[in-house]
Structure 1
């Protein structure tokens, strides 16, 4: 009995010692050594061997996978899997799937330098963020807290790709569907016929917005337990971090158009019915979105703005992610982003970013042909909103305007 107890104590102590060694190794070696075939740190691009010279052999387990396996064996049954299982198409997989592995398009690596204008644009945007975060005249909730003070539930928009050392904070209504597609391709989290999906546009919207397809910071607790916050900070230090933003008022118009002018049962029940009861004198709105659209009932843009300004809204629940402020989604004063893209310059910024990430040989940013909401429409959309309400709305979103360099919309606020 004594020997058995001593053996269990020895195993526990040995396991704790091994975890400590892993953490120390992580800090010393750094994320850039986890995947030797895909450098993380910026530097001169070196052409890879042509595809035909690359042996198509199975990949060896990564160091991160070893950490996962080691840490997870100490989790109690039912405490959660290391990461949510991704939906996989297993209908046509075979033992020869590896033979059908599609080589990366090495020929597409850009060897010419990025234009000085684009580099300066990024420097200005990063510098502005730093200045605004240090400027006492820009005040908003949570500005001065530390990263450790951010609740875990507020880290769910930070998607991590360990394969290439990338962290993307997605902002809904800012091309986030296509950037999520790119993150799925890069992380190789979706298989098609046994091989990683390489075409972003072939990934359906349902999969794109399926949380199981993305490894986000708020999932670290399930995987790493008490070491989660430490590993988050290691990756924030060593990985390339980016986000895309757009004019805050135009983003609100886009959110309204997408969620309330189109048939969306979930948003109708959760939000539209509330707006109709409170602001449209509809005490008993139609039970479903189909019934509402059949009789031409839906909240107006003015009702939507009233909903955002109503103190009761945030008392009931935090803003939905589609109209939540970017500073609340991505924490730009706690996370030093390496790249800040604007939707207004999306194509140039996307090409620049993919080259900076050194993955422009792996994936291209999908060109969108949808009817995008334009800044020139602002005056028409806000014409039904009282001027005082417009000014209150600006105060609500002013931090986003100033943090990301968008001009104060005086033509709308001073009418």
Structure 2
């Protein structure tokens, strides 16, 4: 009788443990990518306030709290780093191929010198500004005071997760996001080249860089984890290093216009340019294709583009496209406490600083390019055809991004 009872107890415990394993081992692609058994690089040490004493209460442990506790025992708080690193199985053929094919570049550079005080202070200032503006009412915008639980799943599609290194990147189009996506593909080892992970960011084709299947984003959690999705998001937000890159909002708009409407892009021509031509350019029947439009010299002007952004009908038809949607709507900086805020204007210094904090600067370098880079000094010329009142309305539309990320109000454009 006693033996039978013990047997049933062991069966029950084994079943419970297997359920925990299924949930915790969230990467179901293959055993080589299991999070708990893959050494990860810790993020920057962010100081935490001393814990406040709480009144003693009796609470029945929940299933989710047990999962959280199970995860926490493997992680050092605030780093995403295993407390006991599990040796990598050297018998893996794929791992051996990877080591044979790749010698880390600039390995001599990793962590040999301390990060400059100026760079540390820059990050502290940017993080503090976000915290202060999110905590008071000096900046008001839709969704500012909602909780993370209230963010719709479709609005979490810009948060890319790398479980191998404990990183979450919120990508902002027109802010070097192509190259940062390349970095994330290299780090996550989601692209194989002749049996080994692709190590060169610039060797990744552009069509793969923006292929959603190459990136595991928060909005995919629901399909994979069901009712546990939001809880697992919170666990990762707590443990992983979170970063984003931003740029001057008006310059970002210029860049978006140049890229999508001054170059031949059939999709953007049909979805947006034709609408602008009909509404604002006195073109009731615009050319049917982008090639025909370019041949005839018919395209929406930058002023038409600004009119489109300010037109109330635009957002009634559909939300802003990601290339001109405000950063606060893409990355939710008042719900997610970012550990690192990079600026495109200081991209090289910030990228090097970030990769060192992530401890991957011996694995990958950030690819820099000056090709077709939109300069801040061009603002005056580009906005010369935009009426002063429209400029002021546009500033109100993007004011949260200006203030949250420390960009000065463009007085010369708004007070002529």
In which range does the TM-score fall when normalised by the shorter chain? 0.7 to 0.9
Query: Helix, strand or coil: the match of 2:263?
Result: coil
Tell me the secondary structure at the aligned position of residue 242 of structure 1.
Answer: strand
Per-residue deviation, 1:225:
1.0
Per-residue CA deviations over 1:262-318 (Å, capped at 9, x if unaligned) read 000000000000000000000000000000000101000000000000000000100
TM-score of the aligned structures, taking structure 2 as reference length: 0.81
Q: Secondary structure at the match of 1:221?
A: helix
User: Aligned partners of 1:76 and 1:348: how far apart in 2?
Assistant: 28
* Structure 1 contact 80–222 (Cα < 8 Å) conserved: no
Q: Alignment partner of 1:340: what SS?
A: strand
**CA shift for structure 1 position 51:** 42
The answer (yes or no) to whether the contact 1:57–1:98 under 8 Å persists in 2 is: no
Whether the aligned pair in 2 keeps the contact of 1:250 and 1:375 (CA below 8 Å) is yes
In structure 2, the residue corresponding to 1:180 is in which secondary structure?
helix
State the distance in 1 between where 2:94 and 2:50 align: 27
- Matched-pair contact (CA < 8 Å) for 1:88–1:190: no
How far apart are residue 7 of structure 1 and its match?
Answer: 15
* Residues 177-186 or 103-112, more deviating: 103-112
Q: Identify the range of structure 1 (30-39 vs 386-395) with the bigger mean alpha-carbon deviation.
A: 30-39
Give CA-to-partner distance per residue, 1:297-354, whole Å, 9 cap, x none: 1000000000000000000100000000000000000000000000000000000000
What is the CA distance between 1:18 and its match in structure 2? 4.0
Kept in 1: contact 2:97–2:196 (CA 8 A): no
Compute the RMSD of aligned alpha carbons: 10.8
Q: Which runs of 4+ in 1 moved over 2 A?
A: 1-108
* Separation in 1, partners of 2:253, 2:122: 25
Unmatched tracts of structure 1, length 5 or more: none
Structure 1 residues 9 and 72: CA distance shift in structure 2, 3 A: farther
Q: Name the SS for the 1:168 alignment partner.
A: strand
The 3 A distance-change label for structure 1 pair 379 and 7 is farther
Q: 8 Å contact 1:122–1:339 — kept in the other structure?
A: yes
- In the superposition, relative to structure 1, how do residues 220 and 51 fare at CA in structure 2: closer, same or farther (>3 Å)? closer
Distance change in 2, residues 1:411/1:4 (3 Å): farther
In the alignment, the residues of structure 1 paired with residue 86 and residue 298 of structure 2 have an alpha-carbon distance, to the nearest angstrom, of 38
Question: Does the Cα contact within 8 Å between 1:182 and 1:363 map onto a contact in 2?
Answer: yes
Cα–Cα, structure 1 residues 252 and 187, in superposed 2: closer, same or farther, change >3 Å?
same
Query: Are residues 111 and 72 of structure 1, via their aligned partners in 2, closer, same or farther at CA, if it must alter by over 3 Å?
Result: closer
CA contact (8 A) 1:280 1:299 kept: yes
> What displacement does 1:108 show?
3.9
| Count of residues paired in the alignment | 415
Change (3 A) 1:408 1:285: same
